[in-house]
Amino acid sequence: MLLSLDIDRIEPLADGAPFGAPGAYERVIATAKGEVDPRDPANSGIALLDMAPRNARGRVEYATDVFILRPRDAARSSGRILYEVNNRGRKMLFGNIADGPQGMNDPRTAADVGNGFPLRRGYILVWSGWDPDAPRANMGLGLSAPVATDDGRPIVQVVRDEFVSGTRAGALEAFRLSYAAASLDQTKARLTLREREADAPREVPAGQWTFVDARSIRLREGDKPRPGWIYEFHYEATNPKVLGLGFAATRDVVSWLRYEPAAIAATGRPVTHALAIGFSQAGRYLRHHISAGFNRDERGRRVFDGIHAHIAGVGRIFFNTPFGQPARTNTQHEDHGFPENEFPFSTATMADPLTGKSGALLRGDDSDPRLIETNTSTEYWQKGASLLHTDPLGTRDVALPDNSRVYMIAGTQHGGRAGATADPGPNVNPRNPHNPMPAVRALLVALEDWVVSGAPPPPSRVPTLADGTLVAPDRTGFPAIPGAAVVRTTNRVAPPGDWVHPAPPAQAYRTLVCRVDADGNEVAGVRLPDIAVPMATYTGWNEYKPPYPAGELADRDGSCLPFAPDAAARQAAGDPRPAIAERYASRADYVARVEAVVSALLAERLLLAEDADRYLERARAESRVPA
């Protein structure tokens, strides 16, 4: 339960500039303090809780950072919380659904909040910390959680860390360990190296690496990590924190804001509904939050009425376990073998022939929220997203319960957003700049309507086995585009095994992807104008190029393969796809086609009017189509 929410300061946002009808907003910076009773069944699933230090009441304490943006005039607030689960301590909301700058952890100006979309909705925006190891610099959000001990003695366990330089974390000079090493004796640790995930690791001799301190190691002087290669480090780790308190902290903070009369000091007015949204890791956190029973507070009340998980695939997080590493994310090349994907995947109740388990992601009681899951094409290739709507072996479509929806946003990549570029980075193909956020915005509004008024959102929009649009990754029908790398395999999703000493799984689930048309664009899902009236082929996959391990799936990048401008250029390149000038008779023809797509999406509530206007404005200014 939450004991207090102590407000440090309240200050204006954007110098008091108005954001539509809700008017001006203000920032509320606070710290929440709470405690959990290990004897309460609501907390029984928190790993290591029984080994945590207790206060005089026999409870385990925590504290968490809280950041709130609320309308300055409470009468103009919608009264609805939109809680964004932070991603590794970072606020992602404005850089995603508001088309704003990335990495905006401390929004102060109008520019910081992009187009202001969530503010113009009148939401009370709330963030709080859940990860004890999330960086707190620049208003990052963290949780203060105790270290578990064995009757006061340090807990020591052999663990595995993995490091890849030049991909997710940029070029690495040293390797930062997830936990403190219990000893700096190199004979008690082992560093290995391999180029590809499927390769056998080979030992890096002790003379070629060294401890910097208890939390980091580096290669010998003058050596740098090979770009894209996988370094694994086994060592004796100590001092595990009670990570699962993060679930309880989120539950307790939101429940207190919803139900405690004193919370008006933080929210500005009573709260009527609570929604949650999470991007990538944060979406996986929300799926885990539901399945682990934390959407019911200690008094039995529902916490979130509605949840929108974006780009989570079928994942959870490697979190509520001794020596968990929640920053990990399993893809074909990296972090393979760390636990993330665990049955049940879908909200539909079914049996798992690989583990013998049965069940559903939702709990089937009154704690269940209304759930919308949106995924890009990448999650079908890297994150097993087809298992959200098929049986575990991919042999049949399954019907989802009435309180959940799943959507694939065709031709988009993980992390797609406004302003993304086609720069290839370490990949063969240019990256995919197609922005999925217009659909995400529309579906967040649909979730709000569903929760507040009961109006159901659009039906799920995904590729299916029944209509032949959900296929094996080597049966998509992708065209032969000269010079393009083409991926024909997905990341393997398997039951979790020993994460410290992983072995290739004996069995795996069957993951499927969307069939494509003659251009290579996906034929199902939510097809925004960039796919329905295309200028390029957009995919959710890409491949690394040397000096990175060639042929491996590029982390979570997609591809953009532009059409030739005219027939002559197409023929010279040997491109089978019609050129832009061959597709569209004139600018007016192109605009008319975009308008037809936009009108249909509006009618289906898969696009908002403001985004429809943006698409039409962009189409009228499209210089690649002859006037």
Residue 425: name the closest of 195, 170, 232, 606 by CA: 170
448 three-class SS = helix
| Dihedrals phi, psi of 197, to nearest 5 degrees | -60, -35
Q: What count of Cα atoms within 13 Å lies in the side-chain half-sphere of residue 306?
A: 25
The token pair at 267 is 């929210």
Distance CA 286, CA 292 (A): 10
4 three-class SS = strand
Question: Is the Cα torsion angle 259, 37, 291, 503 positive or negative in sign?
Answer: positive
| Dihedrals phi, psi of 378, to nearest 5 degrees | -55, -40
Write the single-letter amino acid at 252: D
Question: Which ranges constitute the DSSP H helices of 55-212?
Answer: 93-96, 117-120
**C-alpha dihedral (263, 290, 383, 232), degrees to nearest 10:** 80
The string of DSSP codes covering 229-260 is PEEEEEEEEE--B-TTHHHHHHHHHHHHHHH-
Q: Angle CA(378)–CA(384)–CA(439) in degrees, nearest 5?
A: 45
Residues 272, 88 contacting (CB under 8 angstroms): no
pLDDT at 354: 97
What is the enclosing helix (H) or strand (E) of 318? none
Write the single-letter amino acid at 173: E
CA 495 to chain centre: 21
The token pair at 214 is 């208890």
pLDDT at 29: 98
The token pair at 555 is 């982390």
Residues 259, 94 contacting (CB under 8 angstroms): no
Distance CA 241, CA 1 (A): 19
pLDDT at 103: 83
Distance CA 375, CA 440 (A): 9
Domains and CATH numbers, the chain: 2-145+243-453 (3.40.50.1820), 156-238 (no CATH)
Within the chain, which residues score under 70 in pLDDT?
none
pLDDT at 530: 98
